[in-house]
Amino acid sequence: MDGGSAIAIDMPMYVYSVIIYLAIVLAGHVVVSIADSFASLEISTRLKISEAKAIFTRILLFVVRKDYLCIASILQ
């Protein structure tokens, strides 16, 4: 990936998110922050506008003891 490439983060602000954020910046890339509350259309729009080359996200979201695939909202 070329230096200065946009890399998205679609995660709640946990310690891991901050580590990923800082690593992207230290590697010379641009961070594209995506609120974890965004709907799939909003995520898609943000990724297209930024021309992000990669995205960090969580795979499973645990809500009321049920597993929901978060990646599905990004792939729509």
pTM of the model: 0.74
Taking 70 as the threshold, does the pLDDT of residue 65 lie above it? no
DSSP 6-18: EEEEES-S-HHHH
Over 90: is that where the pLDDT of 71 sits?
A: no
Q: What is the rounded average pLDDT of the residues 25-51?
A: 91
